[in-house]
Structure 1
Amino acid sequence: MKWIIKNPAPLNQKWGDFYFGRSLTKYLKRLGHEVKTHYYEEWNNNEKADVILVLRGYHLYKPINDGAINIMWNISHPDFVSLEEYESYDIVFVASETYARELKKRVTKPVYPLLQCTDPEQFYIKDSLMDSNREGIIFVGGTRGVKRSCVIWSIKHGFPIKVWGGGWQKFINKEKIVAGHIENEEIPNLYSQAKVILNDHWADMLKYGFINNRTFDALACGLPIISDFNEELFKLFPTEILYYRNEEEFIKCIKNCDLNYLQIKKRVNNVIPKIRDEFSFENRVRMMLKKIEQQ
């Protein structure tokens, strides 16, 4: 089939959505499909296809009834999506088991859970560094215009954090900022050498049980995670990830990581095969194709 992916990333700007769409494209092509991408500025292009796949995050796209199968994969910002918008698609995938169950009660169109994922051909342990030799607390992400708590708390309590991401100059000491950007191709090397990564979610993602793909990328590289408490994430990885709900619990997570690192790292290592099998882009593409065949 011919697929068109409507990618919310702007032209020539390599948002996370850009790389997300690139990985999807790779595995669709590998399974014999033709794939073209329309970035945000090109969304109103009326080019024909068998399947129109909209990566629904920040931007709204209105499907055109032109004979194509219109699919939404709601991967982020669920607060931005109305019930009417879900109804305008032929198939809806949602990156949350919890919210998919809720939508099934309220939307007449087929709704399926389809969590975010990783590309294990890119995200894997890149070298033979011993677990005990990993070092450093890292955070990869911009500020979103707010003081993201896990970063601020780390600095407040003197933890050895290094930050990659834009907008941090107005919130933290520049000595903690390694760079305003890191190339996607360099992230697996960073993940393979760091001791632990800090993670958090947008408020609406926590509310609706969405899990960001940073989680799966890090685990695929054998990197322990300290994350804000996300109930759906906890159901998947109750012992492999350390969770915090407030500053006090965050400090306990850091101390736990220092005291029991090899034990925590072993649990992460043990879950890598599950990440590769169940949370890969190839798995997601095959699930989409299966649901299309059932239409």
Structure 2
Amino acid sequence: MTTLVAPAPGSALRWLAADSWTIAKRDLVHWVRNPTAIVFGVTFPVMFVLLFGYVFGSAISVPGGGDYREFLMPGMFAQAMISGAASTVAIVSTDRARGVTDRFRSMPVSRGAALVGRSIADLCNSALELTVLVVCGLLVGWVTRTGPLAVLAGIGVLFLMRFAMIWVGIFLGLIVSPEAAGMAWAPIFPLSMVANTFVSPEQMPAWLGTIAEWNPVSATAGAARILFGNAGAVTAGTASWPAQNALVLAVLWPLLIVAVFLPLAVRRYARAAR
């Protein structure tokens, strides 16, 4: 006679955490063994900092005054968190095409471990990229003018957006081919450009400025400027509603994205087939 034993309280969560970390380590090992991806992922944002900070920066004014590089860096941080979705799409799509996704689904591991592990690995990758950008920013003159708690909150806002974009990347990676995944940067690039990343929406044509103000990237960059105390940060009564409420939108936008794409990614993963 077979006796079914109920799992101990919390065992499912421990199982998920252990399996997720195992898969995350696997993803991180693959990433470390691909130095080309590391170099490209780190140097591309740095090149943007140097290009806009030293080449175009002298021709761009900051609303309310202030140093342009100080205005630029929070925008670059936000752009890096958004752009990371392209690598997520490419990696997930490649794993699916090579049968790795099917192998995970057939193994005796927690059902959500593959997706959670992917998100952990991508957050670790983003932490390195953000660290390099922060160091680069400090070298070109960027500083924070608030206390440690506000700075940590600013970093938290950036990672919240990155976490949201991970689920967008996972979902898209599960439905597109590796060839199409290689072009994932195409829609992401204008998303990060038509925002307050490099210039204020006030300096754009009215219709384009309205789009930029409501862009999730603008909310994240604007919130980071406020929390870091950087040039270009706005306060109530000085700008449009989205700019005045950047801190609120910087939380609401990622939560909305997660609410939409996390269930879609989980459902697609459960139904994935080679």
Same fold, TM exceeding 0.5? no
- Larger gyration radius, structure 1 or structure 2: 2
| Bigger helix fraction | 2
TM-score normalised by structure 1 residue count: 0.31
- TM-score normalized with structure 2 length: 0.32
Structure (1/2) with the larger strand percentage: 1
